[in-house]
Structures are given as C-alpha cells and as structure tokens.
Chains A and B, each alone.
Chain A
Amino acid sequence: MYGKFWGAAALGLALASAGWAEEQAELIGDVNAGAEVFEYCMGCHEVGQGAENGIGPHLNGIFGRTAGTIEGFKYSKGLIREGRLGMTWQLENLDAYLENPKALVSDTRMSFDGLEEPKERADVLAYLRQFSDNPQNIPEAAPTARKHEVELPPEILAIVGDPEYGEYLSTECTTCHQTDGEYDGIPAIIAWAEDDFVVAMHAYKRKIRPHPVMQMMAGRLSDEEIAALAAYFGGLE
C-alpha cells in the first residue's frame, strides 16, 4: 500500500545523499504535452492564477507542499495522515500517486484510475511544476530534473526471502506494526511489493531515511533477513 511511495522516496533520498545534483539532469517532461494531459484532471482540479478548490484541491504550489494541507479543502483521512507523517509532494511520490492513487494512499478520495503511461505522468508533472514557484523546499535540481533510477545492487534485490524465517523475525516488528494492517500512529507494513519493502528497510539500515527506532531495527538485519521479512509481510493481507 504505502510501499510504492516509500520505495520511491527512499530512492530519492539515496540519490540526494550521493550528491545527485551534479549528475546529469534530464527534463521532467514536455510541458506542452502536459497541458493536454491535464485535461484529464480539469474536471476536478484548477491550477494557475485564481485557481480555487473544486472537487479536488487546487494544485498551485504542489511541489514541496505537505500532502493534504490546502486550507478549506476537505481531504480524506488517508491523505491527512500521510501529511502528518511528513509526506511532502515531490516528483517521485507524485509520479506514484498519479500512476495509481490508491496504491500510494490506500483510502484517498481521489477517484481517478491513474495514468498508466510514464510519459503522460512526466508531462503533466512538468506542466504542474510551472505553477510551483516556491522551490526553496525542493532540492536544487528537483524541479526540472528527473533523477536517474538508482536502485539497490541487483544481487540484493534478487535474494529470495524465506517466509518462515521472516515470520519469526516479524515477531519483533509486530509489537509496533499491527499484522491486520491497522494504522494507529505507526504505519502498516503488510502487502507491500517485496522490492519496495527491501528498499525501505535498506534506506533505514543505511540511515538515509531518518527514524531512530527503524534505523536501529534495520541496522542489525542482514540482507537475507530483510528479504525474509519482505517475503513474509508481503504475503499478509
């Protein structure tokens, strides 16, 4: 559920720490094509001068904005919760949200099927980027550049986890993370895609993603153990 976003976020962070601003930047997408794609959104969203909330919130300044925080718009609990957990809109999570809104925020009210084509998403985000003029929260190159895909070494992602071992290791997690996926202040971690789970855990282990408890928990897990946990939790519903 949350897997997609955090996987992407973790990768973004991994990149940031590696000084990626210096890497060769690529444009997000084609602004003109994006204006056309935005027609899918127009029934619900306004953007640009004088934009107001409609069925969806206005999208001015969306880059760098904390999710679910436009005054006067009644958001779903899910989006508000993500915002309170610290989710700000960046290229990676916007991309994931537009691809499949419910995969990123399981109980979002945005009833939109998503844009399957990566190019369409890139273009509409390039278009929306023009209406986000407070880039001070955004790392230097983020507004106009798309990161190169940075992934964990393939051999780490290729490890096949042993769910039985994962089940034993998971008992250490379920003191905080509920196995029925309930959220009460600590996120649910069941039914994630295994790769996303592995990436999130490595991001903690390498202290790229901040959080002392999770850094400590992940810090002593081996690559095999992380894979085993991903296999076990990934199989829960």
Chain B
Amino acid sequence: MKLNRRAFIGTGAAAAAALSAPHVRAASHGKPRVVVIGGGAGGATAARYIAKDSKGEIDVTLIEPTRMYYTCFFSNLYIGGFRELSSIGHSYGKLASDYGINVVHDWATGVDRDAKTVTLAGGAVLPYDRLILSPGIDFVDGAVPGWDVTAQNKMPHAYKAGSQSELLKAQLEAMPEGGTFAMIAPPNPYRCPPGPYERVSMVAHLLKAKNPTAKILIVDPKPKFSKQGLFEDGWNRHYGGMIERIGPDFGGDKVSVDPDAMTVTIDGAVEKVDVCNVIPAMKAGRICEIAGINEGNWAPVSGHTMQSRVDENIHVLGDATNQGDMPKSGFSANSQAKVAAMAVRGALTGSKVFPAKFSNTCWSLIDTDDGVKVGATYEATDEKIAKVDGFISQVGEDAELRQRTYEESVGWYAGITSDMFG
C-alpha cells in the first residue's frame, strides 16, 4: 500500500489522481479525506485552503480541542494594554458554515500510520488519505529546574495565549510598588524569536504607567537575540534604567526557580521576585512524538511540500517542524500551510502544483506607535527551506515611519486572521 503510493507520487500528481481515484477511493469511501490536527496558524489555514480550493472534492476534518483560539500574536499587546483579550479570540464557526469543514473539538491522542487513522480522546477513530499536523509547541520537561507545567499558575509561561496571558497581566497589575518582574527567556529554537523581547517592552509599558519604580530582569541563556539592536535602542529611549538583562556570560544559562518561594536562582545567587514569567525550552507538540515523526525535538519536513521526512502521507506545519531557515512564527505557519494545501490537493485530486514559495514578516511593538519589523522570503531546496532575501527596521527611523509600521502590523493581524478563519 505504502509502496504503491510512493510510486504514484513519483509519476506525478495528475497521473496519481487518474490512476488512484477510481480504484482506491471509489471502493473505500468516495471522496479523499484530509484530517488536520490543530486549528492554529498552520492548521486553520491549511484546512480552509484545501476546503476552499478543492470545491467540495476533498473531505476536510479539523481537530482542535478549544472552541476559541486566542492568537499568541498580539497577546503581548494585550498585556501592554493595546488590545482587549476578546479582540484576539477567534471561533471556528465560519470554517464549518462557509467552507464545509468538519470541525471536531477534541484532542487527537493517537496516530496509526499503517492503518492511516487518527484516534481522538473521545474514542472516535478517523481514517485519512493525508494527515496534516500543526500542533504548535510543548515545553521540554526539566528545562528550567524547579518548574513544570503544574507550576504555570504561579509562574505563567503565557506562551500559549488565553488564560495564561490573562493570568500574567493580572499578576503584573497586582505587583507591589517597586517590585521585580523576572522573565526566564528560552534557548533557541523557539516560537517567535522576538516574542520574549516584545513582551518585555509591553510589560515595561504597563509598569511605567502603573508602577514606575518597578524593575524588569531578563535571565537569558542566549548570547544574543532577535532584533536586539532595535529593542535595546527602544528600551533606552522609552524605559531607561528599568530593564536589566543577564546573558550567559553572567550565568543567564544557569537558572532554576522555586515557584512556592517565588525565587529565581542565577548561577547560585538567589533573587526574590514578585512576578516570574518562565518560558522554557520548546519542542514540537506532543502528538508529533506520538505519531513517531520527530527527530530529536522537532519533525523534519521537505520544503517542497511540507511532507514529513518520515512518512509521506503526513504533512507537518508551523512551530512543530524542523524545516530550515524560517523562524517559528504565525506568518511562517500560514505561509507553509498554503504550500502544503497545494501539494495535498495536487496529490489527491490532480490539481496543478506550482513551486513552493514562502515568506515571513514579524512586527514587534516597543512602545505606543513605535513598531519595528523584520522579514524575509524563502524557497524550497532539497535540503531545506532556504532564505532568499530579507530586511529589518533600522535604529534611528523617524517617528512617522515607526507609527506606520505599527499600523501595518494591525493591518497584517486583520489579514492573517481572516486568511485563517475566513
């Protein structure tokens, strides 16, 4: 069975559709079936594009436990007070009603790659012709000694948005005057490279208004970080003296925490803190491990189609992948989803397949109307997704340009969320 399919793919999409459609599909279940696990930036986009562009020829099921998806993107702006939480929540209603996607609110708990089925926590077993996995990230156990997910109510990560974001904001607002906020930043690779530093900016914005003598401490295992020059320049201009960063040269990589005592220990020195945001090392969402498609912490994929290097009937998207040069961002996941959607349609219905192209732009807000961005375009090579061209905002840009950049990010947010959810 598997060998056959390999052969079909080798002979080209049109041939595969012509040969396989009558004898595999008609016999077993009529329409080809695609199951998508995870309704985030990658999964929702892929489900929508396959359903929209196949015009009913493919049966699409989307599995996502939550009924309301809170975007991580712009969740920092919520913490800074620039957005309401409700404005970053999105429901799956339109994907079901306007695109005919079968949205199932449940967890996927198993993948049988030989039988080509997915098992849900509720017990259902769903067969697929192609499976798309876009489960985002989970945290590496023991990455920050003293912390595990059961401590997330004391020391939130807020790296999956929603109640965690709300908790972190509430803790910041309740912080004693002149108190200390600590962030344990993650090692590479992780979701949204500028994310922790945008968060620091937004926390500083909030504290500057409500608690101006408060201190911010970043404990960072990395020697340098994304858009560092832009952030440090912005912090100096807006929040002079408030933010201190301890890099690996001063023990930023030797950190442990005690959530009950609310202490952070850096290279042996114990600090008492008031709010602690622990962002541990990350790995692909657990279902990738369960499906057996990881190498190390991530799922390797081919950039041409986003197919798993381990199983060609599975496509993996977004943060969970090891693909090459693209950062783990919502923009990247959305971009990859479109390449995968095209490849899946090509394989299952013989539609035209064009060469893969990708792009990414990440905006960050440093303070009111002070936005910066970094972006690049990419193409697929046989080894990886490789960067073609890029740009980054410059230190010293005028205020009007920074404001326009921020306004653009608001436009992008509206664009990508309507691209995901219809």
Interface residues of B in 112-140 (CB under 8 A from A): none
Interface residues on A, range: 20 to 34
Listed stretches B162-170, B214-222, B290-298, B410-418; interface member: B410-418
Distance in angstroms from B311 CB to nearest chain A CB is 25
**Could you tell me if B377 and A177 are in contact, using CB atoms closer than 8 angstroms?**
no
Q: Which residues of A contact B404 (CB under 8 A)?
A: 85-86
Q: A178-B414, A185-B414 are in contact. Are A212 and B408 (CB under 8 A)?
A: no
Q: Which residues of B contact A177 (CB under 8 A)?
A: 415
Distance in angstroms from A116 CB to nearest chain B CB is 34
Q: Which residues of B contact A84 (CB under 8 A)?
A: 407
Interface residues of A in 90-108 (CB under 8 A from B): none
Listed stretches B176-184, B185-193, B302-310, B334-342; interface member: B334-342
**Could you tell me if A220 and B414 are in contact, using CB atoms closer than 8 angstroms?**
no
Q: Does B49 contact A (CB under 8 A)?
A: yes
Residue in A165, A172, A212 whose CB lies within 8 Å of B335:
A172
**Could you tell me if A186 and B415 are in contact, using CB atoms closer than 8 angstroms?**
yes
Q: How far is the CA of A173 from the CA of B361 in the complex (A)?
A: 12
Interface residues of A in 159-179 (CB under 8 A from B): 164-165, 168-169, 171-172, 174-179
**Could you tell me if A182 and B414 are in contact, using CB atoms closer than 8 angstroms?**
yes
Q: Does A236 contact B (CB under 8 A)?
A: no
Q: Does A18 contact B (CB under 8 A)?
A: no
Q: Which residues of A contact B260 (CB under 8 A)?
A: none
Q: Which residues of B contact A179 (CB under 8 A)?
A: 418
Residue in B331, B352, B389, B410 whose CB lies within 8 Å of A219:
B389
Q: Which residues of A contact B358 (CB under 8 A)?
A: 172
**Could you tell me if A220 and B388 are in contact, using CB atoms closer than 8 angstroms?**
yes
**Could you tell me if A176 and B412 are in contact, using CB atoms closer than 8 angstroms?**
yes
Q: Which residues of B contact A40 (CB under 8 A)?
A: none
Q: Does B419 contact A (CB under 8 A)?
A: yes
Q: Does A39 contact B (CB under 8 A)?
A: no
Distance in angstroms from A210 CB to nearest chain B CB is 10
**Could you tell me if A213 and B375 are in contact, using CB atoms closer than 8 angstroms?**
yes
Q: Does B76 contact A (CB under 8 A)?
A: no
Distance in angstroms from B36 CB to nearest chain A CB is 17
Q: Does A184 contact B (CB under 8 A)?
A: yes
Main secondary structure of the interface of A (DSSP, over half): loop
Main secondary structure of the interface of B (DSSP, over half): helix
Q: A164-B352, A174-B419, A175-B335 are in contact. Are A184 and B388 (CB under 8 A)?
A: no
Distance in angstroms from B385 CB to nearest chain A CB is 14
Q: A185-B407, A216-B389 are in contact. Are A175 and B412 (CB under 8 A)?
A: yes
Q: Does A133 contact B (CB under 8 A)?
A: no
Q: How far is the CA of A220 from the CA of B375 in the complex (A)?
A: 14
Q: Does B409 contact A (CB under 8 A)?
A: yes
Q: Does A180 contact B (CB under 8 A)?
A: yes
Q: How far is the CA of A213 from the CA of B354 in the complex (A)?
A: 23
Quick one: closest A residue to B410, CB to CB?
A185
Q: Does B90 contact A (CB under 8 A)?
A: no
Interface residues of B in 363-422 (CB under 8 A from A): 373, 375-377, 388-391, 404, 407-416, 418-419
Quick one: closest B residue to A85, CB to CB?
B404
**Could you tell me if B412 and A212 are in contact, using CB atoms closer than 8 angstroms?**
no
Q: Does A73 contact B (CB under 8 A)?
A: no
Residue in A85, A213, A215, A217 whose CB lies within 8 Å of B373:
A213
Residue in B49, B389, B407 whose CB lies within 8 Å of A220:
B389
Q: Does B208 contact A (CB under 8 A)?
A: no
Residue in A168, A171, A172, A186 whose CB lies within 8 Å of B411:
A186
Q: Does A112 contact B (CB under 8 A)?
A: no
Q: A172-B357, A175-B331 are in contact. Are A216 and B375 (CB under 8 A)?
A: yes
Q: How far is the CA of A24 from the CA of B394 in the complex (A)?
A: 39
**Which of A's residues lie within 8 Å of B, judged by CB?**
84-86, 164-165, 168-169, 171-172, 174-180, 182-186, 212-213, 215-217, 219-220
Could you show 22 A-B contacts with beta carbons less than 8 Å apart?
Answer: A168-B352, A169-B354, A169-B357, A171-B49, A171-B338, A172-B335, A172-B359, A175-B331, A175-B334, A175-B416, A178-B419, A183-B411, A185-B408, A185-B409, A185-B411, A186-B408, A186-B411, A212-B391, A213-B375, A213-B391, A216-B376, A217-B359
Q: A168-B354, A175-B419 provided; 15 other pairs, C-beta below 8 A?
A: A86-B404, A169-B357, A171-B49, A172-B358, A175-B331, A175-B412, A176-B361, A176-B408, A186-B411, A216-B377, A216-B389, A216-B391, A219-B389, A220-B388, A220-B389
